[in-house]
Amino acid sequence: MKSDLEIAQAAKLEPITEIAAKLGLLDEEIELYGRYKAKVSLDILKRLKSKRNGKYIDVTAITPTPLGEGKTTTTVGLGQALNKIGKNAIICIRQPSLGPVFGIKGGAAGGGYSQIVPMEDFNLHLTGDIHAIGLAHNLLAAFIDNHIFHGNKLNIDPQAITFRRVVDISDRALRNIIIGLGKEGTLRETGYDITVASEVMAILALTTDLKDLRKRLGKIVVATTKDGKQVTSEDLKAAGAMTVLLKDAIKPNLMQTLENTPAFIHCGPFANIAHGNSSILADQIALKLGDYVVTESGFGADLGAEKFMNIKCRISGLVPDAVVVVATIRALKMHSGRFKVIAGKPLDPGLTLENLDAVKEGCQNLEKQIENMKYFGVPVVVAINRFSFDTDAEIELVKKISLAAGAQAACVSDIHSKGGAGGKELAEAVAEACEKPGNFKFLYPLNIPVKEKIEIIARKIYGALGVAYLPAAEKAIKLYTEMGYSDLPICMAKTHESLSHEKSLKGRPKGFTVPIRDVRLSAGAGFLYPILGEMRTMPGLPSVPAGERVDIDPQGRIVGLF
């Protein structure tokens, strides 16, 4: 069987101008970045303003395991499969961060015969958007320290600066640093976050036009003064220059799949730290051009999909017509707690042997994630990514449990090995679910106290008994409430490896209390983000980084990204 890399390299790509023309884009609405990728002008939204939106589908998953569930593969394959059954479908997904690309995960272009191509461009610099975001973010950070160095007219309290710097590489050594050594400024403690956790990244993903981007960037709160007043990027006169750095990054990127299905790639906020969804602008454009738009929310339904509903949909005004929850038999077995994956060692052979008890126990996680999506009143379809060693009895058990939990359908997916042709059953089920009457609703209203919103998410989505607030969190909630930010939605920062805050708790944990270590403000993005337990905003590299495999072969081709 061919490897993912061999499949990608053998792809018959169409010039991006042809992909754009099939979508109905005009020549003046695309900006070419080579032969196979382009940026799309926001002017198209004005031209197609009166056109009816297509159907809106969000792909999410059970709680991730080290084995991978194939969420991006399913997103890509479902888009291809919808086209196979005669629908006009477009895909919208995030650009990968270089942190996981060179860290623990490797590339994120999908897999098998359901990939975004060219996968090297997709996984690496693409059109430079993430670099532009990092520059805009760090420009503001430099303005803060420069302002203090030159007299501090705003009376900023150096110990009350909350805005950290960013870099798009996982580097734990930068989590906590001291700056201002020598005579280069005020000595203070600070640190770095990964770029995809930047508020600037969140703003770009949630903005609706250039004017809105400029306004949101100006709202970023970076510190407080010595008498307790907030200081914004607008106060520092940095927001205009930041907007200029992002004037091209605001435009979505157009690429294609192995089957030449159009794919918009735009923004890359992490779902365990930020809101974890591609841009509103990409979705808005795709919904005007296609009859079906398949987008993806990061990590499990308790993270990216919850934030898709409660944050992204509030801002965009768009409502999903269906949700797809992705699972694999072996990942469900992992959630039984009977098996372990040890880095660098062969998989437990039990994961490939029929074990109905382990599947049933692990399905408690799937049941909870279906329940989580049903809170929002959206039809749910379960996609079971098939492996050759999955037995019919195991698959039928997952189907039975899924339907009993309230899913509209549960379908086997062979999109990895067969591309769109292997997802026809799933595509038919999703198209049917999109025709079901929806009853979309948010999980919580905005006009309730911050703690109440946090506790609703913790109890309903995670299944927690309650919430415990550490002193820093109590102080932050009090401060942001007094500043008038209590009516913002909540963006929980927690581990993606468990429904709970503790990554070792698999399946459907019960009886736990969620500790809130701190709460931070993203005023420009428009949310508060509590930090749960030991969650970090700067990941570290694993003992064997994926970047060790990346190289150039004798023919000058990139290898090792998968």
Per-residue pLDDT tens over the stretch 43-91: 999 999 999 999 999 999 999 998 889 999 999 999 999 999 999 999 9
* Beta carbons of 386 and 412 less than 8 angstroms apart: yes
| Non-local CB neighbours of 46 within 8 Å, separated by 6+ positions | none
pLDDT at 562: 65
Return the CA Rg of the chain. 23
Q: State the CB neighbour count (10 A cutoff) for residue 45.
A: 16
pLDDT at 109: 83
Low-confidence ranges of the chain (pLDDT < 70): 1, 5, 105-106, 343-344, 562
Structural domains of the chain, ranges and CATH numbers in brackets: 4-127+249-434 (3.40.50.300), 129-237 (3.30.1510.10), 450-532 (3.10.410.10)
The whole-angstrom separation of Cα 170 and Cα 193 is: 9
* Beta carbons of 359 and 389 less than 8 angstroms apart: no
pLDDT at 105: 65
pLDDT at 343: 66
The residues with which 384 forms a beta bridge, in sequence order, are 327, 412
The whole-angstrom separation of Cα 52 and Cα 134 is: 36
The residues with which 231 forms a beta bridge, in sequence order, are 223
Residue 259 three-state SS: coil
pLDDT at 344: 64
For 80: left if phi > 0, alpha if psi spans -120 to 50, otherwise beta; the answer is alpha
The whole-angstrom separation of Cα 19 and Cα 286 is: 13
pLDDT at 239: 98
pLDDT at 270: 86
The whole-angstrom separation of Cα 507 and Cα 62 is: 9
What does the DSSP assignment read for 136-168?
Answer: HHHHHHHHHHHHHHTT-TT-B-GGG----EEES
* Beta carbons of 302 and 501 less than 8 angstroms apart: no
Distance of CA 338 to the CA centre of its chain: 29
Mean pLDDT (the chain) is 94
